[in-house]
Structure 1
Amino acid sequence: MTVLGRVLVGTAFAVYEPDGILAYDELLLAVQVGRGGRPSVSVPYIWVDHPASLAGGRALWSIPKQEAAFEIQRIDGAEGADFAATAKASQSVPLANLRFRSRTAMPGRWPVRATVVQRRLDDGRDHGLQTTQARAWARVSLGSASWNFPRSGPLSFLRDCDPLVSTRLTDLSLWIGSS
């Protein structure tokens, strides 16, 4: 979906903690797509560091997860929270670096609902679109993000793009598919 010749793209580093169903790290790029009234996205690029997440994302939701290695650094202090992350694909191909600085925490937990729309490809054949409902509740902090997408990486087309909005979600509850 384009508006004035532009596409809305979201990038995220996610750290799923051990107290959830599966602990792993993730880097993703989501693109807004036109699909009814509810916000809809497609995830063409995504990397994770856990084999069960990789297999599950592909089998359950047609999300093309790939393997990567992550370095995550969190610093919580009186002046806000910093978060830094780096991801590298296999053979040490650099994917992205992020530095986030929290500025303002919004009160309470906020809901988000979306539809994930993916092209379902099995055995090299196109099986059409697969839609999956997603919903989340999270504490939201607004801040500033500095992204670096190395020239040699698959996300290099984002090198000269500046974030429109930067948020950090904590205390996240996420459901994808039936719950």
Structure 2
Amino acid sequence: MYPPEPWHLRGQMYLSLFLVPRGKLSQLPPVLRDTVRPITVGGRVVVGAAWVSYEPGGVLHYRELLSAVLVHERGRPRVSITDIWVDSVASREGGRRLWGIPKEMAEFQLDAGTEPLVDAAATAAGGPIGSAAGGPIGSALVRLKGRLPGRFPLGFTVAQALGDAVRRTPVRGRGGLRTADAAWRADPAGPLAYLAGRRPVLSLAITDFWLVFGRTPADRARTGRPGTKGNARP
């Protein structure tokens, strides 16, 4: 089983932004292609990739690697997660069933014990589709730099295909910010091959964050959609 929506989560995130030629990326599911458009810079798509450690104090604690495309829906910014791995079955099943997030299982190394370096790596638990063996996904070495004073609000909407509809999920929270340098090493034969050999244009660490992922009862009352499959546009 998995926790009901919303999920209250705490932890650390190491985020990098890339500009990737559109032709290098897989197409979004049809229902999303009919609804959202990728945001491009100079003809390249903005892709965010992140390592996340969700820590005790939230409803679940686990590790995660994700890649997401920045899109817009009639001018409203959205985030669409295209590739994601976790090391928690509850997170995988909840992400898929509640929000249409295509989570897969992986094994992680995420070592943040030697300041200012964070060493991360992930290996797919099931390997490539159709393979019985695990396969490498990628790794990164993140060097943390300056800490920005204060804590900053976090807020965005995740848009995913859930069945034949678009599921729009609000995410809100707050966290500290640090600048960072990150060297990503995506496996050129793996599922993140579109990031192989690319340098991020920006890297940040979002530290000691808390997040509310999903609709709260107040959200559902405001939109008039009581179930978990609401399709409102926040």
TM-score with structure 2 setting the length: 0.70
How far does residue 96 in structure 1 lie from its aligned partner after superposition? Answer: 1.4
Answer yes or no: is 1:162 the counterpart of 2:199. Answer: yes
**Cα distance in 2 for residues equivalent to 1:3 and 1:103:** 26
* Aligned-partner Cα distance in 2 for 1:68–1:37: 35
Larger radius of gyration: 2
Shift of 1:3: 2.9
Aligned to 1:83: 118
Alignment partners' CA distance in 1, 2:192 and 2:183: 15
Secondary structure of the 2:199 match is: coil
Match of 1:171? 208
Shift of 1:177: 1.2
Number of aligned residue pairs = 171
RMSD, aligned α-carbons: 1.3
Contact 2:185 2:197 in 1 (8 A): no
1:156 to partner: Cα distance: 0.9
For structure 1, the residue ranges without an aligned partner over 5 or more in a row are: 122-126
Q: What is the correspondence of 1:67-146 to structure 2 with a 5 Å cutoff?
A: 67-77=105-115, 81-90=116-125, 91-121=133-163, 127-146=164-183
- Which of the residues 40, 44, 48 maps onto 1:6? 44
Which amino acid is the alignment partner of residue 161 of structure 1? Answer: R
> Is the CA contact 1:140–1:170 (under 8 Å) kept in the aligned structure 2?
yes
Q: Distance in 2 between matches of 1:166 and 1:33?
A: 19
Higher relative contact order (CA closer than 8 Å, sequence separation 6+): 2
Instruction: Describe the superposition over 1:77-132 as per-residue Cα deviations: whole angstroms up to 9, x where unpaired.
Output: 4xxx21111000022311110111111101111112111001113xxxxx121111
Question: For structure 2, which runs of at least 5 residues remain unmatched after alignment?
Answer: 1-37, 126-132, 217-234
> Residues of 2 paired with 1:108 and 1:45: CA distance?
31
Q: Residues 62 and 118 of structure 1 are in contact (CA less than 8 Å); yes or no, is this contact kept in structure 2?
A: yes
**Of 177, 184, 189, which residue of structure 2 is paired with 1:152?**
189
CA contact (8 A) 2:95 2:103 kept: yes
2:87 and 2:146 map into 1 onto residues whose CA distance is 30
- 2:157·2:170 contact (CA, 8 Å) conserved in 1? yes
Higher normalized strand content (fraction of residues): 1
Counterpart AA for 2:124: A
| Distance (Å, rounded) in 2 between the aligned partners of 1:84 and 1:3 | 30
CA contact (8 A) 1:29 1:46 kept: yes
Q: Encode CA deviations 1:48-71: one digit per residue, 9 max, x unaligned.
A: 000000000001110000000001
